[in-house]
Amino acid sequence: MGAARELVDRAAETGADAVKFQTFITEKFTAPTDPARIERLKQFQLSFDQFSELAERARAKGLMFFSTPLDLDSARFLATVVDAVKIASGDNTFWPLIECCADSGKPMIISTGISGEAEIREAVDRVSARWTLAGITGDLALLHCIVSYPAPAEQANLGAIAALKAAFPNQTVGYSDHTMGLDAAVIAVAMGARVIEKHFTLANDYSDFRDHQLSANPTDMADLVRRIRAVEAMTGTGALGTMDCERDLVTPVRRSIAAARDLPAGHVLTIDDIVWLRPGDGFPPGGEDAVLARRLTSALASGDLIRPDHLEQG
């Protein structure tokens, strides 16, 4: 429990938005065929009271508190303490668990590892059906995930983020990153992921449990948060148009219709008499009809922008 408390504290220091744990009763999610594994899992099993304490601690630190239930009793308990509930990839076809979590009305996050579109859609539809039946307006996010740990970089398949966004336009899409390093998570944000999950450890040599060697330590996580915030800032809204920093440059970089050579007063302008030069505070490209076949009221030097008062009226 001491390590769990410290994980919350250190996560807050990195600038992360949330912490997520796993909540389980060992005997209720894995068969007793491997006694050594059962005993190891029990070493990581926290009580419901301990999770309540962690939730309070996280919120006191400005963090949202999530957890992944691995059994129905844990799911029912978590509904009383979490800000959102997460379904692991391995359980995204465990319909009783998904429906139990949906019934809580809490925001849900479902990892989509090892699942095709049909399985993912069934999960989404089951959640939506429960919410509709209960009159709940809920929030559901889908996280692209490769369940291998670590996932080879060449099999991260980050293009699936775009596929999820296209197939499920009403859902928030994110990425649960099991690759080594930070690059995949940062790239995922640039590709449209809006939720990033990354395993977190106090130290990569914390124990001989392999997860620690593969997870982000506090320095890594702080760097990841910094890089993600930079990508978010650079991504912007995506709206087409002129940015504030460009406004003073519009006129200097646009073009105007100008004299291609020295032209005398009284000359009737033809297409051979004009060029298009910067700045853009005269007749714009596309405004040639307002200039051609018009008589000059005064002489122009080569390169002079043609102004309305240079042209006879009528």
294-311 tens-digit pLDDT: 999 999 999 999 999 999
Residue 71 has a pLDDT of: 97
Q: Residue 169: phi, psi to the nearest 5?
A: -65, -15
Mean pLDDT, rounded, of the chain: 96
87-99 tens-digit pLDDT: 999 999 999 999 9
Q: Which domains does the chain have, with CATH numbers?
A: 2-235 (3.20.20.70), 245-310 (3.90.1210.10)
253-277 tens-digit pLDDT: 999 999 999 999 999 999 999 999 9
pTM score, whole prediction: 0.89
In contact, 278 and 255? CB cutoff 8 Å = yes
CA–CA separation, 72 and 99 (whole Å) = 10
Q: CB burial class (10 A; 0-12, 13-18, 19+) of residue 258? A: buried
Q: Identify the band that residue 195 occupies on the pLDDT scale cut at 50, 70 and 90.
A: very high
* 294: DSSP letter: P
Q: Identify the band that residue 52 occupies on the pLDDT scale cut at 50, 70 and 90.
A: very high
pLDDT at 249 over 80: yes
The label of the residue with tokens 């590709």 reads 191
Residue 210 has a pLDDT of: 59
In contact, 285 and 257? CB cutoff 8 Å = yes
Q: Dihedral, CA atoms, 210, 213, 215, 216, nearest 10 degrees?
A: 170
